[in-house]
Amino acid sequence: MRTQVGIVGAGPAGLTLAQLLHRQGIESVVLENRSREYVEHRVRAGVLEQGTVDLLVEAGIGERLQREGLVHHGIGIQFDGERHRIPLSELTDGRTIVVYGQTEVVRDLVRARLAEGLPLLFEVADVRVHDLDTDRPGIRFTHDGAEHALACDVVAGCDGYHGVCRPSIPAGVISEFSREYPFGWLGILADVAPSNDEVVYAHNERGFALLSMRSLELSRLYVQCRPDEDLAEWPDDRIWEELQLRLGLEGWTLHEGPVLERGVTGMRSYVAEPMRYGRLFLAGDAAHIVPPTGAKGLNLAIHDVRVLAEAIVAWYRTGSTTLLDAYSDACLRRVWRAEHFSWWMTSMLHRLEHDDDFGLKLQLSQLRYVTSSHAAAVSLAENYVGLERV
Ligand code: FAD
Ligand code: DHB
């Protein structure tokens, strides 16, 4: 088998890259080790920056997103028993965010690719990338019990944080920067209309909580928990009780409903530099992770593949490697801005177990500042909706 671009991973990064390349007449093969059912039901991110929405629309897969996505003009920040609104659009020349689940983005991309009869293989196993430092890199894998070899011009490592591409880079090439957080998020999808029409980030002495949604009928909620929290210890009643305690406000009701899905996510900041080795280009979570506070992970993944697709197209059209050579640096500028923003939002909003009252006072002071100072609110808002230039 031969293709132009071999893509490992059918998450948002891999699938969007394949779509962008296809629109420019470049062939690719996407290899995914999970089933279609699994990738289409893995509940994760939900907030899309306007730049992400624009790209998906331009890439020809935004039709349902434009119809069903919920356009939001602000977010809530809650602390000390009060909810404050950050009017994102007012503060950023009219920019907006769109609430549309990552599962829906993945479904739209998978459907578009399969409808065109383009190669996207699920449930591949034993994926190995090789000859990355030559101009004939390749991917070996098994599928339906048979061993396959795929020769490529370029390999795109879009296989997430636990993938095989980054670990295939020889030791010493990549520098890693990371931070672990001593907490996680317990997230639920609930069959109840969202109790607020905008996303609310809540600081509370019991720990952080987040109110979000997936549609006008489905709520998505999170509570800060231990990183190794045992879900068995969280029957529905306990989850709702904790959400009520952390999100509750005088004169406002958090409506409860059946829990459709639940999971615990650990939190990490991580960056691998450079995002390239020879003909292997890393994109999305394969190269960097942010803690979810601030909703940047998915948006960064989409930005990476926009830059990568443009570079690959330019290389095929002109033979020039200028954009490919600039890929890693171009992405890392935005990655580090998002790393800082996500770390900052996380530090400001979560209960730090070993923190003293000094830490708590600093958090509250910062929260008061971003909800009362125009300059501070603009800074939060422009990062949240996604900076046009970094
Ligand atoms: P992924 O979505 O991880 O896709 C990688 C794909 O590669 C997967 O389909 C995987 O199965 C596949 N793969 C892995 N190894 C191999 C292999 N060896 N061979 C073939 N395929 C392979 N972000 C937010 O903004 N808000 C959130 O609430 C949020 N929640 C999250 C919850 C969890 C549990 C996780 C893990 C992440 C969450 N994120 C969240 C981050 C966001 O979902 C990611 O940033 C986004 O999925 C990145 O897309 P990606 O395509 O780079 O990676
Ligand atoms: C959602 C996730 C986030 O990480 C966030 O910051 C806001 C919303 C969500 O899943 O809806």
284: Cβ below 6 Å to ligand 1?
Answer: yes
Query: Pick from 194, 198, 196, 16: which is nearest to 98 by CA?
Result: 198
10: Cβ below 6 Å to ligand 1?
Answer: yes
**Which listed residue (72, 203, 288, 350) is catalytic?**
72
pLDDT at position 355, please?
A: 72
Measured CA to CA, the distance from residue 147 to residue 326 in angstroms comes to 35
Spacing, Cα 13 to ligand 1 middle (Å): 9
pLDDT at position 104, please?
A: 97
CB 29 within 8 A of CB 1: yes
Nearest ligand, CA of residue 72?
2
**pLDDT tens per residue across span 287-317:** 999 999 999 999 999 999 999 999 999 999 9
Q: Which helix (H) or strand (E) holds 389?
A: none
pLDDT at position 352, please?
A: 87
Instruction: Establish whether 137 is a catalytic residue.
Output: no
Confidence of residue 36 (pLDDT cuts 50, 70, 90): very high
**pLDDT tens per residue across span 344-355:** 999 999 998 777
Q: What does pLDDT average to over the chain?
A: 97
Nearest ligand, CA of residue 110?
1
**pLDDT tens per residue across span 130-186:** 999 999 999 999 999 999 999 999 999 999 999 999 999 999 999 999 999 999 999
Instruction: Establish whether 222 is a catalytic residue.
Output: no
Q: Does the pLDDT at position 84 exceed 80? A: yes
Query: Pick from 276, 305, 285, 275: which is nearest to 28 by CA?
Result: 305
Instruction: Establish whether 296 is a catalytic residue.
Output: yes
Encoded tokens for 369? 């500042």
Instruction: Establish whether 292 is a catalytic residue.
Output: yes
**pLDDT tens per residue across span 347-389:** 999 998 777 889 999 999 999 999 999 999 999 999 999 998 8
pLDDT at position 228, please?
A: 94
295: Cβ below 6 Å to ligand 2?
Answer: yes
305: Cβ below 6 Å to ligand 2?
Answer: no
291: Cβ below 6 Å to ligand 2?
Answer: no
- Which residue has the CA at smallest separation from atom 3 of ligand 1? 160
pLDDT at position 68, please?
A: 97
pLDDT at position 389, please?
A: 86
Nearest ligand, CA of residue 11?
1
Spacing, Cα 131 to ligand 1 middle (Å): 26
- Which residue has the CA at smallest separation from atom 1 of ligand 2? 46
**Which listed residue (181, 201, 277, 327) is catalytic?**
201
pLDDT at position 385, please?
A: 98
Measured CA to CA, the distance from residue 153 to residue 14 in angstroms comes to 16
33: Cβ below 6 Å to ligand 2?
Answer: no
Measured CA to CA, the distance from residue 20 to residue 27 in angstroms comes to 10
Question: What is the share, in percent, of the chain residues with pLDDT greater than 90?
Answer: 98
Instruction: Establish whether 384 is a catalytic residue.
Output: yes
Q: Does the pLDDT at position 86 exceed 80? A: yes
Q: Can you give the pTM of this predicted structure?
A: 0.97
295: Cβ below 6 Å to ligand 1?
Answer: yes
Confidence of residue 221 (pLDDT cuts 50, 70, 90): very high
Measured CA to CA, the distance from residue 7 to residue 20 in angstroms comes to 12
Spacing, Cα 362 to ligand 1 middle (Å): 33
pLDDT at position 331, please?
A: 98
11: Cβ below 6 Å to ligand 1?
Answer: yes
Confidence of residue 49 (pLDDT cuts 50, 70, 90): very high
pLDDT at position 318, please?
A: 98
**Which listed residue (292, 303, 327, 350) is catalytic?**
292
Spacing, Cα 162 to ligand 1 middle (Å): 9
pLDDT at position 364, please?
A: 96
Confidence of residue 19 (pLDDT cuts 50, 70, 90): very high
- Mean pLDDT across the stretch 326-340? 98
- Mean pLDDT across the stretch 33-51? 96
Nearest ligand, CA of residue 349?
2
- Which residue has the CA at smallest separation from atom 35 of ligand 1? 44
Query: Pick from 312, 334, 332: which is nearest to 18 by CA?
Result: 312
**Which listed residue (100, 222, 277, 384) is catalytic?**
384
Show Cβ contacts of residue 151 under 8 Å, excluding neighbours closer than 6 positions: 1, 2, 3, 136, 138
